[in-house]
Amino acid sequence: PPSPGLLAGVNITSPSALVRGTAGKAALLSVRYASASPDKPVVKWQLKRDKPVTVVQSIGTEIIGNLRPDYRDRIRVLENGSLLISPLQLADEGAYEVEVSITDDTFTGEKTINLTVDIPISKPQVLVASSTVLELSEFFTLNCSHENGTKPTYTWLKDGRPLSNDSRLLLSPDQKILTITRVLMADDDVYSCLVENPISHGRSIPVKLTVYRRSSLYIILSTGGIFLLVTLVTVCACWKPSK
């Protein structure tokens, strides 16, 4: 009968199927393998694309052949078959498949690890055209702006809590710009935005919005102003300079 070692083949484990990397830093795609054979493994890492790209092949930690120019000086294979990439580039993002073979290709173990590569979010700020609005007659727009950061997602906060759904709230498709239409007194508050991506998050300094009430005093003042203007025009039209 065949020996139990050959039946077992190669068993690969990985502590994490997802690694979140930062551009310019290092990422370790960590695996371990178990084998009944004392021989050094043949390790092959591929980046899954439409057509798989071979990142590296090694016998143990010794790299076989020449690395592609874009991987040169950035790739190491560790004792346990793990792949160390440093420094990371945005183009390194993707699904990596490792294949560990011992002696005979029929005894092969495989594992896939997904790597994301991102640039951290820089401090966001909320930009407003005007910080004062008149109740019922106006709308206001808030723009969440930040210089750096890949794959950003935006959350708008009112008094530190996420904004609830309201038919007066209009969000741009990427949710970066918030417009509140037909402003109510309840909108008089502080607003901030939270920006997140797989490796970081940033929150803006709150911006205070002041809403002025359309009070009866405002109506009296405006109608009084029109009455005064009409009176002045009438007086000017009727007045003739004396000779």
Q: What is the CATH number of the domain that holds 211?
A: 2.60.40.10
Q: Within 10 Å of residue 35's Cβ, how many Cβ atoms?
A: 19
Residue 130 inside a domain? The answer is: yes
pLDDT in tens, the chain (243 residues): 443 444 456 788 888 999 999 999 999 999 998 887 778 889 999 999 999 999 999 999 999 999 999 999 999 999 889 999 999 999 999 999 999 988 765 567 889 999 999 999 999 999 998 888 888 878 889 999 999 999 999 999 999 999 887 889 999 999 999 999 989 999 999 999 999 999 999 999 999 999 998 774 455 565 555 656 666 666 556 666 665
Residues 57 and 32 in one domain: yes
In this prediction, residue 108 carries a pLDDT of 77
Residue 227 inside a domain? The answer is: no
Evaluate whether 198 touches 20 at the Cβ level (below 8 Å).
Answer: yes
In this prediction, residue 226 carries a pLDDT of 63
Residues 105 and 164 in one domain: no
In this prediction, residue 230 carries a pLDDT of 61
Residues 88 and 129 in one domain: no
Residues 88 and 143 in one domain: no
**10/1 Cα distance (integer angstroms):** 19
Residue 168 inside a domain? The answer is: yes
**205/219 Cα distance (integer angstroms):** 36
Residues 35 and 108 in one domain: yes
Spacing of C-alpha 111 from chain mean position: 27
In this prediction, residue 137 carries a pLDDT of 78
Residues 165 and 91 in one domain: no
Residue 55 inside a domain? The answer is: yes
Place of tokens 């359309």: 214
In this prediction, residue 172 carries a pLDDT of 93
Residues 105 and 17 in one domain: yes
22-33 residues labelled b (16+ CB within 10 A) or e (exposed):
bbeeebbbbbeb
Residue 225 inside a domain? The answer is: no
In this prediction, residue 8 carries a pLDDT of 52
Residues 98 and 130 in one domain: no
- Best CA proximity match to 54, nearest among 88, 91, 96: 96
Dihedral angle computed from the Cα positions of residues 144, 147, 148 and 149, in that order, rounded to the nearest 10 degrees:
10
Residues 27 and 108 in one domain: yes
Residue 208 inside a domain? The answer is: yes
Evaluate whether 43 touches 109 at the Cβ level (below 8 Å).
Answer: no
Residues 131 and 172 in one domain: yes
Residues 79 and 157 in one domain: no
Residue 41 inside a domain? The answer is: yes
Token representation of residue 201: 């998050």
Residue 53 inside a domain? The answer is: yes
Last residue of a domain, one of 80, 101, 118: 118
- Best CA proximity match to 93, nearest among 121, 111, 72, 119: 119
H-only helix segments in the chain: 4-8, 216-238
H-only helix segments in 1-112: 4-8
Count of domains forming the chain:
2
Last residue of a domain, one of 118, 150, 172: 118
Domain around 150: 125-215
Evaluate whether 136 touches 217 at the Cβ level (below 8 Å).
Answer: no
Residues 131 and 110 in one domain: no
Last residue of a domain, one of 60, 85, 118: 118
